[in-house]
Amino acid sequence: MVIQRAKGTQDILPGNIEKWQYFEEMIRSVCREYGYEEIRTPIFEVTELFQRGVGDTTDVVNKEMYTFLDKGERSLTLRPEGTASVCRAYVEDKLYAGALPLKLYYLGPMFRYERPQSGRFRQFHQFGVEVLGANKPIVDAEVISLVWDLYQRLGLNGLKVHINSVGCPNCRIRHSQVLKEFLLQCRDNLCRDCRERFERNPIRVLDCKNPYCWELTDGAPTTLEMLCSECSNHFNELQDLLKAAGVNYKVNSRLVRGLDYYRKTAFEVIVEEIGAQSAICGGGRYDGLVQEIGGPPTPGIGFAMGMERVLAALESQKKLPVSGGSRFALLIALGEEAQGEGFALISKLRQAKIPVGIDLLGRSLKAQLKAADRLGVNYALILGEEELRKQTLIIRDLKLGEQYEISLAQAYVSLSRKFREGVRR
Ligand code: HAM
């Protein structure tokens, strides 16, 4: 029986990987320009980090973690997200001793035991950003603008940036009280998950996707109505800055993120056309998280985007570059002696960083020309017995269908020039 990949995972194959590379390069260049540095943390962490950091009332920690005991009986978890790990590194590696704010980004696989469907995987990839050590609204605005700018550069259309403020712990206590009073009237008619949320973390009821619960809780008190003056000023200033930066946002007072660490600003970016899993990015402020995991009081804000979802949106809007053949030329050497001579030529070209290939299967001229065509190669360099005897090489332009013969001695110079002209064009 053929062994298949684990459910909810994917192979990223040649032909597709170029799209990822294009996206990753775009991310790296935006991060460089905004002054963010890359951080790489381990794929697995001690389980307690997520229990304390992300919160054990959340679905992510309660239901979706890949947790296992290693041979030393330690409980470890494949990271379901990157924020807790970055904060752990900040504390453990004493990054707070350096210049603040610290502006970091990461790219990599995350793991959640969810029900796989289109746009939802068990192993997926996030690009995330975290800023530690700065509490002003301008930081929130910079982080949201970075997301907006990246999507503009990629050419994504139909975006909605939803923003909300979930307040500070004081606002939350007041909100939780009035919300519970409101929910008491309809508690028995809520879905099972929401009845459980009512007990453990009532604010999450506002975020239920069940249309029936949604209707029942229409008119429920929102956090925005309960904000203290500091949180309210923060939210207003953020909006002024987003307007100044030209970010097309919308206040969504029911936006409650699925992780426990958020305070004040919360946001999500939605693209409707990719179906049910339309949230391509989510983030917010988490001013208590570093302290929660044993570090000094440190404000923080960040986001993460699901790379598969962004790529799906780009694909459906036809915004991904068509990947052409990356090879400039393919050497078709016929016979052992020609192969030796040809190998010397392509070695020289490769050392000059010119992408040339050579047949590795001993195929016929016809088969090799077909392969060159499939690879999207520009030039076939044909070196048969006849050419070898004359010490020449046939250069066939596969795009124009023309060919000419030059001496082998001139081939290197002529091909290098052709390549550089092509690059300049
Ligand atoms: P999150 O909302 O859980 O936030 O995930 C961020 C994004 O990751 C989602 O908007 C979605 O695009 C993608 N994503 C999540 N789960 C899956 C899945 N199973 N399959 C495919 N894509 C998925 C966080 O992870 C926070 N750490 C974000 C953050 C950073 N907040 C502050 N800093």
Which atom of ligand 1 is found nearest the CA of 119?
21
Protein residue closest via CA to atom 4 of ligand 1: 282
Q: How many whole angstroms separate alpha carbon 46 and alpha carbon 163?
A: 32
The SS3 assignment for 280 reads: strand
| Domain ranges across the chain | 17-168+228-316, 329-416
Q: How many whole angstroms separate alpha carbon 113 and alpha carbon 94?
A: 32
Minimal CA–CA distance to 170: which of 236, 264, 85? 264
pLDDT at 277: 77
Q: How far is CA 99 from the centre of its chain?
A: 27
Tokens for 43, please give them. Answer: 């794929």
Percent of the chain clearing pLDDT 70 (strictly above): 98
Which atom of ligand 1 is found nearest the CA of 269?
10
Question: Who lines ligand 1 at CB under 6 A?
Answer: 81-83, 112, 114, 120-121, 124, 126, 128, 130, 258-259, 279-284, 286, 302-306, 308-309
pLDDT at 44: 98
Ligand 1 center to 344 CA (angstroms): 51
Protein residue closest via CA to atom 13 of ligand 1: 306
**How many residues make up the chain in this entry?**
425
Q: How far is CA 380 from the centre of its chain?
A: 38
Query: What's the pLDDT band for 324 if we cut at 50, 70, 90?
Result: low
Least confident of 59-63, 141-145, 284-288: 59-63
Handedness of CA 32, 272, 257, 262 (dihedral sign): positive
Domain 329-416 annotated CATH 3.40.50.800: yes
Ligand 1 center to 127 CA (angstroms): 9
pLDDT at 297: 97
pLDDT at 247: 96
pLDDT at 274: 67
What does pTM read for this prediction? 0.91
Ligand 1 center to 114 CA (angstroms): 12
- Asked if the model's pLDDT at residue 154 lies above 80, the reply is yes
Protein residue closest via CA to atom 22 of ligand 1: 306
Average pLDDT for the chain:
94
Q: 257, 264 in Cβ contact below 8 A?
A: no
Q: How many whole angstroms separate alpha carbon 106 and alpha carbon 39?
A: 6
- Asked if the model's pLDDT at residue 238 lies above 90, the reply is yes
- Asked if the model's pLDDT at residue 405 lies above 90, the reply is yes
Protein residue closest via CA to atom 20 of ligand 1: 120
Residue of 248 and 323 predicted with greater confidence: 248
CATH superfamily of domain region 17-168+228-316:
Bira Bifunctional Protein; Domain 2 (3.30.930.10)
Which atom of ligand 1 is found nearest the CA of 279?
10
pLDDT at 424: 59
pLDDT, tens only, 359-379: 999 899 999 999 998 888 999
Compute the average pLDDT of residues 55-69.
93
Q: How many whole angstroms separate alpha carbon 121 and alpha carbon 291?
A: 31
| 149 class by beta-carbon count within 10 Å (0-12 exposed, 13-18 middle, 19+ buried) | middle
Minimal CA–CA distance to 418: which of 381, 383, 391? 381
pLDDT at 323: 61
Which atom of ligand 1 is found nearest the CA of 281?
10
Protein residue closest via CA to atom 2 of ligand 1: 282
- DSSP type of residue 117: B
Compute the average pLDDT of residues 25-42.
98
pLDDT at 199: 87
Compute the average pLDDT of residues 189-211.
89
Could you please report the per-residue DSSP string of 40-109? ---SEEEHHHHIIIIITTSHHHHHS-EEEE-TT--EEEE-S-SHHHHHHHHHHTTGGGSSSSEEEEEEEE
pLDDT, tens only, 100-152: 999 999 999 999 999 999 999 999 999 999 999 999 999 999 999 999 999 99
